[in-house]
Chain A
Amino acid sequence: MTAIEISNVEKRYKSLQALGGVSLSIEEGEFFGLLGPNGAGKTTLISIIAGLIRADSGSVKIHGHEVVGDFRAARKKLGVVPQELVFDPFFTVRETLRLQSGYFGLPNNDKWIDEVMENLDLTNKADTNMRALSGGMKRRVLVAQALVHKPPVIVLDEPTAGVDVELRQTLWKFISRLNREGHTVVLTTHYLEEAQAMCKRVAMLKSGKVVALDTMSALIRRISGSQLIVHMTQGELPEDMRHLITHPEPTETGRKYSLRINDYTEVEQILARLRQSGAVIDEMQLQQADLEDIFLQIMDKGAL
């Protein structure tokens, strides 16, 4: 079943085209990453999914329920962690979570609320007023609020922005567990290594358009390939190999080159060619491309 179906969504703010016809389909149980630089339209898209912003055209369905026309059913299926660190200063953590649960029609939900608090290390802050919490603790409450009604689809908009390592680990452990139990997770983050570790599939947005959409492994394979890093103490890189350089770096004893390779069979050919040209290699390393390389490549080129 499709968890989120986004069809040709457009949104314009005066002269700015925030989203220019975005279409995406996220399947049930996926851990999906939505990536892009600031201003790419990630938060606008999430806000449209959540019903916080109305799209100019196009439609979004959550588990088959249209987010405007059938908003009650759609919102029951959705838990959203907003990017902004917002809180209601009148209430304690437990009151906040009970109220949020009540809004979703679950008045006697203490067992699950306690479990969520336990998993997010909030139990000893349950009766603390929201105003008295640190930024990291407030962020945990935001996550807990999104989960009080056990939504099958969880959307996290930059959930780890500006928070410590401990919370990140606690959060990802819990979210991974929910994902294993069948919850669909959509994540936006600036920490690309986080997306690489968590997401099975990603979409990259640039200027309101999807510029890449694939599984993480295919994306890494397809776009960047790997890198062969060679440290040469003698000789120069032949001219016909210079187009492979991604990162030259002079060292005290010679020169270090990072060379892009598409296939591991190319390693042998490169080494043979270097030996032929008289180069002496004293160190060699193979490095798998990561999401950051891909991200930078795509954002430079504009589209895949």
Chain B
Amino acid sequence: MGSTGFRTLVYKETLRFYKVATQTIAAPILTAMLYLLIFGHVLEGRVTVYPGVSYTAFLIPGLVMMSVLQNSFANSSSSLIQSKITGNLVFVLLTPLSHWEIFSAYTIAAMVRGIAVGLGVFIVTAWFAHMSFVWPLWIVVFALLGAAILGTMGLIAGIWAEKFDQLAAFQNFLIMPLTFLSGVFYSIHSLPPFWLTVSHLNPFFYMIDGFRYGFFGQSDINPWTSLAIVSAFLVVLALLAIRLLRSGYRLRH
């Protein structure tokens, strides 16, 4: 599938994180595991979000999706900024790869890492609660869409940032708040009205809510609505990323 150049770039971007798998896969799995142990231990039995679903079981899909999102973003953004700062991005820029191929390759490699970490988080956390899989296809669709969106956001951030601290700002002041305020640890219906409204403006909320629907068959809002919003968000971001690549913004001065 795709041209040889495109497949090579996907392979290179995947090989890049695989070579440092302790840092790129094992570490985030451990972090998610710690979240589960701490929050699950403190809140288990005190919070019931959906009837018949334990808090730990509710938390697991949220943690899995959070890991998928954060690691997808980390992959494309860190790869690009490192290549830009060390100068080796030139090896990609000198090739006949099209803007579309560069976009797809970085995004797919980011998705591979996001999904790999998400799967790892699920495998090590699923032992702590009885998990159900009411609609498995929704799980797959939202995991892929979420990974693609964050992979694309990472690409945009990597193109925009010229220094590591600019990328860190993007991550700390945008990605982290959007992730933590998306309902990973709670249902947004438990929030006061103002924050409930604000949460509806957060696209990450729809990714996690739709993903969770796949497990429990219950969600804060209709999964089809989430699917439409998440898909539209991906299209807008993808168009922006391709436009930036085509214009050479901060890549081909």
Contact = CB atoms under 8 A, between A and B. Distances in A.
Contacts of A52: 90, 93-94, 252
A90 B15 contact: yes
Contact of A87 (B7, B88, B96): B88
Contacts of A50: 94
A86 B87 contact: yes
Interface residues of A, number: 30
A104 interface: yes
Most buried by B among A53, A78, A87, A103: A103
B84 to A, nearest CB: 11
Given A99-B12, A105-B4, A145 B98 contact: no
B96 A105 contact: yes
Interface residues of B, number: 28
Contact of B4 (A78, A80, A84, A102): A102
Given A71-B96, A72-B96, A87-B88, A54 B19 contact: no
B87 A84 contact: yes
A100 interface: yes
Contact of A102 (B5, B16, B19, B252): B5
Contacts of A152: none
A88 interface: yes
B90 A103 contact: no
A75 interface: yes
A53 B12 contact: no
Contacts of B95: 75, 100, 103-104
Interface in A89-116: 89-91, 95, 99-100, 102-107
B8 A102 contact: yes
B94 A80 contact: yes
A104 B91 contact: no
B234 interface: no
B2 to A, nearest CB: 11
Interface string B93-134: 111111000000000000000000000000000000000000
Interface string A144-156: 0100000000000
A106 B4 contact: yes
Contacts of B96: 71-73, 75-76, 103-105
B92 interface: yes
A99 B8 CA distance: 6
Interface of B: 3-5, 7-9, 11-12, 15-16, 19-20, 83, 86-88, 90-98, 248, 252-253
12 contacts: A52-B252, A53-B252, A54-B252, A54-B253, A78-B94, A82-B90, A90-B15, A90-B16, A91-B15, A100-B91, A102-B12, A105-B4
Interface of A: 50-54, 71-73, 75-76, 78, 80, 82, 84, 86-91, 95, 99-100, 102-107, 145
What are the 4 closest A-B residue pairs judged by CB atoms, nearest first? A102-B8, A86-B87, A103-B95, A72-B96
